[in-house]
Structure 1
Amino acid sequence: MTGRRPPHGPQAPRKPSTELIDHPYRPPGGFESPQPAVYKASTVFFPDTTALRNRQWKDKSGYTYGLHGTPTTFTLEERIATLEGGTDCLLVGSGLAAIALVNASLLKGGDEVLLPANVYGPSRELAEHELAQWGITHRLYDPMDVAAFEAMLSPATKLVWVEAPGSVTMEFPDLAGLLRTCRARGITTALDNTWGAGLAFCGFDLDGQGLGADIVMQALTKYPSGGGDVLMGSLVTRDRALHLRLKMTHMRLGLHVAGNDTELVLRSLPTLPLRYAEQDRSARVLAQWLAARPEVAEVRHPALPGAPGHAQWASLCTQAAGLFSITFAAGITPARGRAFVDALRRFRIGYSWGGPVSLAVPYELKPRAGLPQGGHLVRLAIGLEDTEDLRADLEQALAVLAG
Structure 2
Amino acid sequence: MDLDWIINHHGEERQRYFGAVAPPVLQSSIFTFPDVAAMRAAATREFDAPFYTRGSNPTVHMLRQKLAALEGAEECLVFASGAAAIAAAVIACVAAGDHVVCVQKPYSWTRALLADLLARFGVAHRFVDASDIAEVAAALTPQTRLIVLESPNSLTFEVQDLAAIAALARPRGILTLCDNSHASPLNQSPLALGIDLVAHSATKYLNGHSDVVAGALCGSRALLERVFHGPFMTLGAIPGPHDAALILRGLRTLKLRMQRVAETTPRIAAFLAAHPRVARVWYPHAPENPQRALIARQMRASSGLVSFALKDADAAAIARFCDALQRFLLAVSWGGYESLVCPLVAFLPAGAPLIQQPGRAPPELIRLSIGLEDSDVLIADLQQALAQVGAAP
TM > 0.5 between the two? Answer: yes
Number of equivalenced pairs: 366
Which residue of the partner structure matches residue 154 of structure 1?
Answer: 141
How far, CA to CA, are the matches of 2:215 and 2:358 in structure 1? 28
CA positional deviation for 1:181: 1.3
Per-residue displacement from partner, 1:55-108 (whole Å, max 9, x unpaired)? 243452x32212121211111000000011101010110000001111221111
* Two-structure CA RMSD over aligned residues (Å): 1.8
Which residue of the partner structure matches residue 136 of structure 1?
Answer: 123
How far, CA to CA, are the matches of 1:76 and 1:111 in structure 2? 33
Which residue of the partner structure matches residue 173 of structure 1?
Answer: 160
- Is structure 2 residue 276 aligned with structure 1 residue 294? yes
Match of 1:218 among 165, 179, 200: 200
Which residue of the partner structure matches residue 397 of structure 1?
Answer: 385
How far, CA to CA, are the matches of 2:163 and 2:359 in structure 1? 19
Q: 1:201–1:317: 8 Å Cα contact kept in structure 2?
A: yes
CA positional deviation for 1:311: 2.2
The one-letter amino acid of 1:397's match is A
Per-residue displacement from partner, 1:247-278 (whole Å, max 9, x unpaired)? 10112222321011111001111210110110
- Is structure 2 residue 326 aligned with structure 1 residue 345? yes
What TM-score does the superposition give when structure 1 sets the normalisation length?
Answer: 0.87
Q: 1:155 to 1:346 in 2, by over 3 A?
A: same
SS of the aligned residue for 2:253 comes to helix
Match of 2:100 among 101, 107, 113: 113
Q: 2:94–2:146: 8 Å Cα contact kept in structure 1?
A: yes
Q: 2:186–2:300: 8 Å Cα contact kept in structure 1?
A: no
Which residue of the partner structure matches residue 373 of structure 2?
Answer: 385
Which residue of the partner structure matches residue 258 of structure 1?
Answer: 240
Q: 1:117–1:368: 8 Å Cα contact kept in structure 2?
A: no
Which residue of the partner structure matches residue 101 of structure 1?
Answer: 88
SS of the aligned residue for 1:354 comes to coil
How far, CA to CA, are the matches of 2:268 and 2:184 in structure 1? 21
Q: 1:349–1:359: 8 Å Cα contact kept in structure 2?
A: yes
How far, CA to CA, are the matches of 2:17 and 2:344 in structure 1? 53
The one-letter amino acid of 2:38's match is A
Per-residue displacement from partner, 1:30-64 (whole Å, max 9, x unpaired)? 6223211110112211101111122243452x322
- Is structure 2 residue 281 aligned with structure 1 residue 281? no
Which residue of the partner structure matches residue 45 of structure 1?
Answer: 32
The one-letter amino acid of 1:93's match is A
- Is structure 2 residue 389 aligned with structure 1 residue 368? no
Q: 2:340–2:371: 8 Å Cα contact kept in structure 1?
A: yes
- Is structure 2 residue 282 aligned with structure 1 residue 305? no
The one-letter amino acid of 2:118's match is L
- Structure 1: which 5+ residue stretches go unaligned? 1-27, 207-211
Percent of residue pairs bearing the same amino acid type: 37
How far, CA to CA, are the matches of 1:236 and 1:380 in structure 2? 28
Which residue of the partner structure matches residue 151 of structure 2?
Answer: 164
How far, CA to CA, are the matches of 2:16 and 2:317 in structure 1? 63
How far, CA to CA, are the matches of 1:243 and 1:125 in structure 2? 23
Matches within 5 A, 1:59-78: 59-60=47-48, 62-78=49-65
Q: 1:170–1:308: 8 Å Cα contact kept in structure 2?
A: no
Matches within 5 A, 1:82-93: 82-93=69-80
How far, CA to CA, are the matches of 1:353 and 1:58 in structure 2? 33
Q: 1:295–1:402: 8 Å Cα contact kept in structure 2?
A: no
Per-residue displacement from partner, 1:158-215 (whole Å, max 9, x unpaired)? 1110111121111222222222211232210000000111011211113xxxxx2100
Instruction: Give the structure with higher Rg (CA).
Output: 1
Which residue of the partner structure matches residue 5 of structure 2?
Answer: none
- Is structure 2 residue 225 aligned with structure 1 residue 244? yes
Which residue of the partner structure matches residue 20 of structure 1?
Answer: none
Instruction: Pick the structure with more helix per residue.
Output: 2
How far, CA to CA, are the matches of 1:294 and 1:375 in structure 2? 20
Which residue of the partner structure matches residue 268 of structure 1?
Answer: 250
- Structure 2: which 5+ residue stretches go unaligned? 1-14, 346-354
What TM-score does the superposition give when structure 2 sets the normalisation length?
Answer: 0.89
CA positional deviation for 1:367: 3.2
The one-letter amino acid of 1:88's match is E
How far, CA to CA, are the matches of 1:218 and 1:164 in structure 2? 11
CA positional deviation for 1:369: 4.9
Which residue of the partner structure matches residue 213 of structure 2?
Answer: 231
The one-letter amino acid of 2:327's match is R
SS of the aligned residue for 1:189 comes to strand
How far, CA to CA, are the matches of 2:16 and 2:130 in structure 1? 53
Per-residue displacement from partner, 1:131-157 (whole Å, max 9, x unpaired)? 111111111011221112101100111
How far, CA to CA, are the matches of 1:183 and 1:53 in structure 2? 38
SS of the aligned residue for 1:66 comes to coil
